[in-house]
Amino acid sequence: MSHSTPIKRAVAVAAAAVTALALGVPAAQATPPEPTLRSEAPRDLEIGSAVWGQRDLLDHDRKNPTEFQRILGAEFGSVTPENDMKWAEIHPEPDVYDFSGADAVIAFAKANRQEVRGHTLLWHSQNPDWVTEASNTWTCDEARDVLEDHVRTVVGRYAGEIYEWDVANEIFQDEWDAGGVRLRTEANPFLKACSADPVGLIGDVFRWAHEADPEALLFLNDYNAEGINAKTDAYYELAQELLADGAPLQGFGAQAHLSLQYGFDDSMRANFERFAALGLKVAVTEADVRMPLGDDGEPTTEQIALQADRYDRLLQACLDVAACTSFTVWGFDDGRSWVPGVFPEGYATIMTEGFEKKPAYFALLDGLTDATPGTSPRTPPGLNR
């Protein structure tokens, strides 16, 4: 990794000096601001973090933010509601919408001049009981009506305030034993009701979202979707089918929930490039790198270094493809990470529970510093900016 000084940092130093002179402070004493992920990011790439508004942002006071809120605003130019826009949170009853958590995310983003990624409109998980129970008896028309109302209501409420939406999330199920994938026409309540034409329904969800907010970029999104494999082959075929049918699909997102128990897929850049060749944007949408921990709950030195390398390689795959619009970590501190509650692993984020920056954080910072502002891919070695 290079530690070259970017143009942005030089400008910041100059600005600090000018401000100091205006205040009568010797220029030599002017201290430039510390670089952040947000300040070092290329102009065409949003660096983001997931956040749970209902938990962390309802008490936001711009004049007296919590330490978490201060870091979230300083380090990231984009935020994703981790749970606040999922069905169970935002649409808990048939005729009830609860926008409090999502509104808190939007308000925080506005106050901190951040973009927002919407997450998510069509998913098989975290649906309210009324949806999962009704799906056993729904006709396809009934399911479509419920889904259309939800999409138009939620996307319409935040029209002009969300720059990217994860429209269809995890719609393919891995079949590890068979070495392939299949559409989730059993687990997803809406695809289940419309199993005769699930692709037609998926296309319509994109149409409804686009009609509700023509400016937002609309994404497919999934895990195990980083490199070229059976799942991304299926998504590639689906993307071609949706585009041929005129659906307003505009992006493909790889979640990038990685574990050190497995290798890194070096075909990630090639995978992003083939989706970009279809005219789509691509994004890393939910990055974290978990690991099994010892009895003391601490990672080894080797694990810490390998985690930093994995984060760096994820970022570089994004930076190397001009169509990559955003790189989002799924929470930035271990105290709020979803990982320990789901996996017997941990230490997955770029900061500790006490907000200490890990080598993984500095790997991302260096990678962003070395990126060409506004153009991506990464600055060629030896290029003096």
List, as one string, the DSSP characters of 257-295: EEETTS---TTHHHHHHHHHTTT-EEEEEEEEEEB---T
Q: Which structure tokens are listed for 96?
A: 């009830």
Residues near 144 by beta carbon (within 8 Å), at least 6 away in sequence: 190, 194, 201, 204
Q: Which structure tokens are listed for 354?
A: 């006490």
Q: Where are the extended beta strands (E) located within 180-279? A: 180-183, 217-222, 251-254, 257-259
pLDDT tens string 41-50: 999 999 999 9
pLDDT tens string 342-379: 999 999 999 999 999 999 999 999 999 999 776 566 54
Helix (H) or strand (E) holding 207: helix 198-212
What's the whole-number average pLDDT of the chain?
91
Contact indicator for 379, 319 with CB cutoff of 8 Å: no
Q: Of 345, 276, 273, 274, which Cα lies nearest the Cα of 307?
A: 345
Give the pLDDT band of residue 24 (cuts 50, 70, 90).
low
pLDDT tens string 155-199: 999 999 999 999 999 999 998 777 789 999 999 999 999 999 999
CA distance 183 to 171: 6
pLDDT tens string 93-114: 999 999 999 999 999 999 999 9
Q: What residue ranges do the domains of the chain occupy?
A: 1-33, 36-369
Could you give the percent of the chain with pLDDT greater than 70?
89
SS3 (DSSP) at 172: strand
Q: Which structure tokens are listed for 276?
A: 């970009």
pTM for this prediction: 0.89
Distance of CA 276 to the CA centre of its chain: 18
Residues near 63 by beta carbon (within 8 Å), at least 6 away in sequence: none
Q: Which structure tokens are listed for 361?
A: 């954080």
Q: How do 172-175 and 180-183 pair as beta strands?
A: antiparallel
pLDDT tens string 55-91: 999 999 999 999 999 999 999 999 999 999 999 999 9
Residue with the larger pLDDT of the pair 131 and 29 = 131
Residues designated catalytic: 170, 286
CA distance 353 to 332: 9
SS3 (DSSP) at 72: helix
CATH T-level fold of 36-369: TIM Barrel (3.20.20)
